Structures are given as structure tokens and as C-alpha cells.
Amino acid sequence: MVGTTVGIVSESLPGERRVAMTPGALSVLKKSNVELLMESGAGVAAGMPDAEYAEKGVRLASREDVFASSEVILQVRSLGANLQAGRADLAHLRRGQAVIGFGEPLTSIDAARDLAERGVSFLSMELMPRITRAQSMDALSSMATIAGYKAALIAANSLPRMFPMLMTAAGTVAPARVLVLGAGVAGLQAIATARRLGAVVSGYDIRAAVREQIESIGARFVVLDLGEASAEDKGGYAKAMSEDFYRRQREAMANVLAEQNVVITTAAVPGKRAPILVTREMVRRMPPGSVIIDIAAERGGNCELTRPGEVVEEHGVQIYGPVNLPSTIPYHASQMYARNIATFLKYLIKDGNFTLNQEDEIVRETLVTHAGEVVHARVREAMGLASLETVS
């Protein structure tokens, strides 16, 4: 007997090639007593044809039928992370239905309000708490891994010199010097990839505690004496610092940047604009031909000159503002995300039934809307609403 019907739909954001569930991740749900329904063609852009899903027992249907027949909808980009095209799906959602995906709830306030008005229970993958029990559900870290890797490749492809040191008959080629700002998951992956490509790599983070992680993968830790205590919040994410702190950081960092061929910036704070780490004046001190890859472009950018989705040139330095980097490697990005979301879904299904126990930390921290209300404390605060007791 089937307990819960789960639907997967094609992503409607232009350029989004990922899919929320992959054939390989279905094994996680094998014993969860669910029926899977998928919009035909949803996995094609990620390199996963319908036949592979059908072989795993997934039933194919139209987009309308998936919404109409599913109790739970799985997406990569839900309404808040797909504000224009995603609005077309609002009419298909019904009271009591659940949606799981990325939704940028701390900034997409109107989307949270709209989902609440539809009576939808929305669970945001961005808000997954960084606790041991939820580690296998941490989709932000999975996507950051992809972004850090791809950022290093873009840098290597764009730089007018090679990354590794080479000893040739024509002489010795000096290695490229790469600096990665921010040593979260994306930053560490960028460091590791640049190292594998042969560059001389340095890393910096306001959290001095990550020095060991940076050095463990072969990079030099840049030390700036800025009083870096308490740069991490209780959820394990970097927190916003004062503008005076960022000003002192920029002043100290200027001399370091002047020695680099590549700078990869990854500093982001959930729900906040990305801090400016690299100013126009700092860019002008970098050697002509240098490259900046600003992974934080979607949050406004860590470089003062960054334009999301564009390449800007200043004083011979190219500043890249890539957006949605995980979608440029859709096969493995989908594979990783699907494993995260499948593990989360399995956690929420008890005896075949989809259950939201708001006493549970994982549920409480990811549940944004439920029973007609915005229930997440941080989202309510961002909306200027009073605190709300748990909605049953």
C-alpha cells in the first residue's frame, strides 16, 4: 500500500539544468513506502532520460498531473528562488501540500507570504541546520562544493598564463598565484582544485579556526590581525561583521591582493548582502591580466566592481560574476542535491506517512510556512512579524 505520493517537476528558471531527484538517489527511499511521480523530461537537461526513471518505478506524467496528484513536491528552485517563472506554479499548489527545495526565505519575503496564503507547507533546504544529524541533508554544502570547483576552472581557463610551474627547454614557467577569500565549503574546494591544477595557493577567512583546514590541503593561511573572534554564528555559518571590521580587513588585504594573479571570493552570509572585500582601488593594484572570480555575485558580490552574470574589466583585471554555478555541472550537482533531499524526505516519512514534527530541530529550522502561516522565527523577524507559537 502506498503511503505518500511524491512529485518531481522540471525546473522552470531559465538556464536551470538541475533536477531534484535522480535515478541513483531513489535507493534512499526504497523502504519509505512512497510512490514517485515525475514530469516527463524533468531530468533530461541533467543527462538523465525518462527511461532511467521508469526503470526505477517512477511514473511519468504532465506537470499539471504531478502537482494535482502529489502530496509532496520536490524542486531545486521553489518559488522564492525562482520569483518570475515560479509564480506560474502557485495556482497548482493546494492547501496541505508540501514543497521542499531552495527558496531563499530570508530575502524572498513575498514568496513566503504567498506560499502561506496557499496553505502550503514549505521546507527550505537553505535553512538546514548544520548539526551532525542533518549533515547528509546539507544541500548548501553540496552545491558550494560544485561552485568552488567550477570557480577554479573558470579562473584557470580565463587567466592568460598557466597554473602550474613547468620546467621546459624554453625555460621555467612560474606558477600562478591564487588567493581564495573565504574558507567555507566553496572556498576549500576552490583551494583544493587550484592546488591540483598546480597553482601556489593562499587562503583567508575571518574565522581563524579554519587555518588548519586551509593548511591541510596545501595552501598558505593569510594572517590579518583584525580581532577575528566570534565570526561564526551558532548555526555554523559565517555571520555579518561590522562595517568598521570590513574596512580594516580591506586595508590589510590590499597588499596581499597586489601579489596575486587570481582571486576567488566566496564570502556570503545567509539572508544578507555579501560583504565587500575587494574595492576598486584594490583591483587597480593587481597585476594587469589578473582575474577575479566572485562566487558571491548572486548576493551582490564581494568585489565592488562585480556585476552578476557579467565579466567586467578594470585596469586590465577581469572580474567575473558567475551565477548559478552548480547548474553548469548539472549531472553531479543533481546527483548530490538529490541525495540530500531524498535523505531529508526519508527522515520526514514515518510509517509511510509524511509527518512534520515541529518539536524536531531539523523540521523546526527548515519549515518556513505551514497551515496558512509563516512559522519560521527568522523569516517572521525578517518580515517584521511578531514571534509565533508552534502551529500544529
pLDDT in tens, 316-344: 999 999 999 999 999 999 999 999 999 99
CA distance 264 to 292: 6
Q: What structural domains does the chain harbor?
A: 4-138+330-383 (3.40.50.720), 146-323 (3.40.50.720)
CB distance 99 to 123 below 8 Å: yes
pLDDT per position in the chain (392 positions), as tens?
Answer: 458 999 999 999 999 999 999 999 999 998 899 999 999 999 999 999 999 999 999 999 999 999 999 999 999 999 999 999 999 999 999 999 999 999 999 999 999 999 999 999 999 999 999 999 999 999 999 999 999 999 999 999 999 999 999 999 999 999 999 999 999 999 999 999 999 999 999 999 988 889 999 999 999 999 886 655 545 555 555 556 677 777 777 777 888 999 999 999 999 887 889 999 999 999 999 999 999 999 999 999 999 999 999 999 999 999 999 999 999 999 999 999 999 999 999 999 998 899 999 999 999 999 999 999 999 999 999 999 998 764 44
223, three cell numbers:
594572517
Nearest alpha-carbon partner for 371 in 31, 3, 122: 122
Beta partners for residue 123, in sequence order: 100, 367
Q: SS3 for 318?
A: strand
Residue 186: name the closest of 264, 82, 298 by CA: 264
Q: What Cα–Cα distance (Å) separates residue 317 from each residue in 83, 180, 193, 222, 313?
A: 33, 16, 22, 22, 5
How far apart are the C-alpha atoms of 221 and 153, rounded to whole Å? 21
User: Which cell goes with 105?
Assistant: 526565505
DSSP codes, 82-141: STTGGGGGGGG--TT-EEEEE--TTT-HHHHHHHHHTT-EEEEGGG---SGGGGGG-HHH
Residue 335's SS3 state is helix
DSSP state of 287: P
* Spatial CB neighbours of 181, under 8 Å, sequence gap ≥ 6: 187, 203, 204, 205, 253, 263, 264, 265, 266, 267, 277, 278, 302
| DSSP type of residue 283 | H
The catalytic residues are 130, 135, 138, 141, 237
Inter-residue contact 327 to 47 (CB < 8 Å): no
CA-to-CA distance for 238 and 334, rounded, in angstroms? Answer: 25
Return left, alpha or beta for 165; rule: phi > 0 is left, psi -120 to 50 is alpha, else beta. Answer: beta
SS3 169: coil
Chain CA centroid to CA 42, Å:
21
